[in-house]
Homo-oligomer: A and B are copies of this chain.
Amino acid sequence: MQLHDLGCCHICKLPGRVMGIRVLRFSLVVILVLLLVAGALTALLPSVKEDKMLMLRREIKSQGKSTMDSFTLIMQTYNRTDLLLKLLNHYQAVPNLHKVIVVWNNIGEKAPDELWNSLGPHPIPVIFKQQTANRMRNRLQVFPELETSAVLMVDDDTLISTPDLVFAFSVWQQFPDQIVGFVPRKHVSTSSGIYSYGGFEMQAPGSGNGDQYSMVLIGASFFNSKYLEFFQRQPAAVHALIDDTQNCDDIAMNFIIAKHIGKTSGIFVKPVNMDNLEKETNSGYSGMWHRAEHALQRSYCINKLVNIYGSMPLKYSNIMISQFGFPYANYKRKI
- The interface of chain A, by Cβ under 8 A from chain B, is 163, 166-167, 170-171, 174, 184, 200, 204, 208-213, 268, 270-271, 274, 317-326, 328-333
Contact = CB atoms under 8 A, between A and B. Distances in A.
Nearest to A208: B166
B167 A331 contact: no
Contacts of A320: 321-324, 330-331
Contact of A324 (B171, B212, B274, B324): B212
Contacts of A271: 333
A166 B331 CA distance: 19
Copies of this chain, count: 2
A166 B209 contact: yes
Nearest to A323: B210
Sort A-B residue pairs by CB-CB distance and give the 3 closest, nearest first. A211-B325, A210-B326, A210-B325
Contacts of A329: 200
Chain B CB within 10 A, most for which of A167, A204, A318: A318
Interface residues of A: mostly helix, strand, loop or mixed?
A: loop
B324 A213 contact: yes
A326 B209 CA distance: 7
A209 B331 contact: no
Contact of A321 (B200, B204, B321, B326): B321
Nearest to A326: B210
A200 B325 contact: yes
B211 A326 contact: yes
B166 A325 contact: no
B331 A268 contact: yes
Contacts of A318: 167, 170, 323-326
B319 A171 contact: yes
A137 B178 CA distance: 39
Chain B CB within 10 A, most for which of A171, A318, A324: A324
Contact of A210 (B174, B204, B208, B324): B324
Given A167-B209, A200-B329, 11 more contacts: A174-B319, A184-B324, A184-B331, A209-B323, A209-B325, A210-B326, A212-B325, A268-B331, A274-B333, A319-B324, A320-B331
Contacts of A208: 166
Nearest to A174: B319
A268 B171 CA distance: 14
A332 B271 CA distance: 9
Given A200-B331, A208-B166, A209-B326, A319 B321 contact: yes
Contacts of A317: 324
A330 B318 CA distance: 12
Contacts of A325: 200, 204, 209-212, 318
A268 B324 contact: yes
A326 B271 CA distance: 17
A167 B318 CA distance: 9
